[in-house]
Amino acid sequence: MPILAVNVDHVATLRQARLGREPEPVTAAHLAEMAGARAIIVHLREDRRHIQDRDVALLRQMLKTRLHLEMAATPEMHRLALGIKPDMVCLVPEKRQELTTEGGLNCVGREEELAKFLAPLHDTGIGSSLFIDADPDQIRAAKDAGAQYIEIHTGAYADAPTPKDQQRELAKVVEGIRLGRELGLKVNLGHGLNYDNVWAFAKVPGVSEYSIGHSIISRAVLTGITEAVEKMAGIIRGFVD
Ligand code: PXP
């Protein structure tokens, strides 16, 4: 049965907007676990725009489920991952100017380099995943690089401009899942999945994990507004004229 892995990066985005102490992504991660998340994901970016090193260290100590660390394949992140020992790392491409991870990692022609990067992580008991487009060449290259999982980038499906484009992108993802499984890889899906478009995978077998962040945090902000405003209005109502 597939699991839900919740990405809490954007709780940290809100905190970093004031460079303050709230909202606390570790608290969000606990609540997500209590609500049914079976893994917590954070992306420690090179520019530290949202998640900070201390968040990853605290999550490692406090999570009851699993910690999945998204990161670029850089020497700095390699050293950090070996120290933190997340349950899994997911290698993603990273560009400083991008708003979010815009495309999959290119694995073709980099199989040996990636295998060398992953081997010490595997030796330490850390699982591995490569975030790639639903492209057969990338899937085969990920297998050759020795990854245990692939995460197929669902952004092209989620952001498709027309229903026809969306069907075409969905078919690519479904074929990618099939090929990945045939090659003996475990397959996760992520990026741009929301309460409307995730349904397309309800009857698609072979997915281990759905990695979802933005839509969940966005909904949480809105569903929490009423309680938050009522609480503050109640306090203000109690003030003297
Ligand atoms: N998977 C990967 C590799 C990502 O980089 C992201 C975005 O941080 C996600 C999944 C989650 O995407 P979203 O926030 O759109 O749900």
Task: Name every residue whose Cβ is closer than 8 Å to that of residue 82 and which is 6 or more positions away in sequence.
Answer: 120, 121, 124, 126
Tokens 């102490």, residue located: 21
Range 139-146 average pLDDT: 98
| Ligand 1 neighbourhood includes 211 CB (under 6 angstroms) | yes
Residue 214 designated active-site: no
Centre of ligand 1 from the C-alpha of residue 99, in Å: 11
**Residue 125 pLDDT > 90, yes or no?**
yes
pLDDT-based confidence at residue 241 (cuts at 50, 70, 90): confident
Task: Kindly report the protein residue whose alpha carbon is nearest to atom 6 of ligand 1.
Answer: 191
Ligand 1, atom 1, residue with closest C-alpha: 190
Using a 6 Å cutoff on CB, does residue 15 contact ligand 1? no
155 pocket-lining for ligand 1 (C-beta < 6 Å): no
Q: How far is it, in rounded angstroms, from Cα 223 to Cα 202?
A: 25
Entry pTM: 0.96
**Position 56 confidence tier, pLDDT thresholds 50, 70, 90:** very high
Q: Which ligand 1 atom is the nearest neighbour of the CA of 43?
A: 8
Q: Is 122 a catalytic residue?
A: no
pLDDT-derived band at 133, boundaries 50, 70, 90? very high
Q: Is 212 in the pocket of ligand 1 (CB under 6 A)?
A: yes
For 212-221, the CB contacts below 8 A with 24+ separation are: 212/4, 212/5, 212/6, 212/7, 213/6, 213/7, 213/8, 213/9, 213/10, 213/41, 214/7, 214/10, 214/100, 216/6, 216/7, 216/32, 217/8, 217/10, 217/11, 217/28, 218/10, 219/195, 220/28
Distance 72 CA to ligand 1 centre (A): 13
The residue from 10, 33, 43, 153 that is catalytic is 43
Average pLDDT over residues 113-133: 98
Mean pLDDT of the chain: 97
Please, which pLDDT band fits residue 228 given cuts at 50, 70 and 90?
A: very high
Residues 23-52: tens digit of each pLDDT: 999 999 999 999 999 999 999 999 999 999
pLDDT beyond 90 at 90: yes
Q: What is the mean pLDDT of residues 219-239?
A: 98
Could you tell me if the CB of 9 is within 6 A of ligand 1?
yes
Cβ neighbors of 124 (< 8 A, separation 6 or more) are 82, 85
User: How many angstroms is it from 116 CA to the middle of ligand 1?
Assistant: 25
Of 191, 196, 216, the residue with max ligand 1 atoms within 8 A of its CB, to mutate for a pocket test, comes to 191
Ligand 1 contacts CB of residue 213 (under 6 A): yes
Q: What pLDDT is recorded for position 155? A: 97
